[in-house]
């Protein structure tokens, strides 16, 4: 029974440009996996092959982003390529920390410029703490979890860590972001730069949605895939 394929009509044979047009968040997915714009009429399968990405895995990630509430089938998990999932997660971390968060920081700095020095300090410190927490969270995944997954992939045994521990430790980095959203939306001083406040909110909403999908890929795709490999050893 393959109802999900029926409901989510994306396939390797469709044109890449049409796929990405389904939902603009897919532009980010394609970019992070190193697919180059200027797709012409090439299909998903052709573009992926050229860049050495497994098309089914790419489509799996795309479904997560484009269809809220999508849950991958067992077949989809079995067919997915763990290397590509890891690559995607890693590139996403880089994108969050090197592009999104700095952009948010610039806008936030501009936003609070007209405020009293004391207010600037309070808001900026909250943001700095959030940034640090996010960085720590990603560092844990990059330093502990991903190397472990690589080891499982390369069939190196001896690791004491199991993917279940990761699942337990998966802290919620979304709470502070939501607080920042509400602080800007509801409580910033009236003299704040409004254009910049809009930008800050725009970045928060994009990051919030992206992190949400990112967490789903970690918890509901990476963890079960690795869990199965652990059990088969």
Partner 1 sequence: MSKRILIVVPSVIAAKGLEQVFNDLGEFEVCAILRDMSGQELRSMAPDAVIVDPAIFDYASRGSVKARVAEYSDAAVIAFTTGPMDEEQQRQFDGVIGLMDTPPAVIKKVRAALEDRTEVPKAEGEELSQREKEILICVAKGMLNKEIADLYNISIYTVITHRKNITRKTGIKTVAGLTVYALLNNLIDMNSVE
Angle at 19 between CA 54 and CA 60, to 5 degrees: 40
Q: Give whichever of 74 and 154 is closer to partner 1, judged by the CB atom.
A: 74
**What values do phi and psi take at 228, rounded to 5?**
-65, -40
The interface region with partner 1, picked from 22-30, 142-150, 170-178, 200-208 by CB under 8 A, is 170-178
Q: How far is the CB of 54 from partner 1 (least distance, A)?
A: 25
The interface region with partner 1, picked from 56-64, 100-108, 121-129, 142-150 by CB under 8 A, is 121-129
Q: Which of 21, 75, 129, 150 binds partner 1 (CB under 8 A)?
A: 129
Please report whether residue 180 would count as binding partner 1 according to CB under 8 A: yes
Asked whether 180 and 101 are in contact (CB, 8 A), the reply is no
Please report whether residue 40 would count as binding partner 1 according to CB under 8 A: no
- Binders of partner 1 among 63-102, rule CB under 8 A? 69, 71
- Residues written for the chain: 233
End-to-end CA distance of the chain: 28
Number of shown-chain residues binding partner 1 (CB under 8 A): 23
Please report whether residue 170 would count as binding partner 1 according to CB under 8 A: no
Q: How far is the CB of 99 from partner 1 (least distance, A)?
A: 24
* Cα gap 168→72, rounded to integer Å: 21
Q: How far is the CB of 205 from partner 1 (least distance, A)?
A: 15
Please report whether residue 176 would count as binding partner 1 according to CB under 8 A: yes
The interface region with partner 1, picked from 81-89, 114-122, 149-157, 207-215 by CB under 8 A, is 114-122
Q: Give whichever of 40 and 69 is closer to partner 1, judged by the CB atom.
A: 69
CA distances (Å), origin 145, targets 32, 65, 142, 188: 20, 23, 6, 38
Please report whether residue 122 would count as binding partner 1 according to CB under 8 A: yes
Write out the residues near partner 1 by the rule CB under 8 A: 3, 7, 69, 71, 118-119, 121-123, 126, 129-130, 175-176, 178-180, 182-183, 186-189
């Amino acid at each position: 029974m393959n109802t999900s394929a029926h409901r989510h009509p994306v396939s390797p044979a469709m044109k890449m440009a049409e796929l990405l047009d389904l939902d603009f968040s897919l532009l980010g997915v394609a970019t992070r996996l190193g697919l180059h714009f200027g797709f012409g009429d090439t299909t998903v399968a052709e573009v992926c092959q050229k860049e050495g990405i497994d098309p089914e895995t790419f489509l799996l990630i795309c479904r997560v982003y484009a269809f809220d509430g999508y849950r991958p089938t067992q077949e989809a998990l079995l067919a997915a390529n763990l290397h590509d999932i890891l690559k995607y997660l890693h590139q996403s971390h880089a994108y969050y920390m090197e592009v999104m968060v700095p952009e948010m920081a610039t806008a936030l700095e501009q936003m609070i410029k007209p405020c009293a020095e004391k207010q600037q300090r309070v808001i900026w410190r909250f943001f700095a703490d959030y940034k640090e927490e996010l960085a720590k969270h990603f560092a844990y995944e990059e330093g502990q979890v991903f190397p472990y997954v690589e080891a499982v992939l390369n069939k190196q045994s001896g690791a004491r860590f199991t993917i279940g521990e990761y699942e337990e430790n998966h802290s919620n980095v979304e709470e502070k972001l939501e607080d920042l959203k509400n602080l800007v939306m509801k409580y910033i001083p009236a003299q704040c730069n409004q254009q910049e406040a809009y930008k800050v909110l725009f970045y928060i909403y994009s990051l919030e949605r992206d992190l949400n999908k990112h967490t789903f890929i970690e918890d509901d795709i990476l963890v079960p895939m690795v869990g199965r490999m652990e059990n088969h050893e």
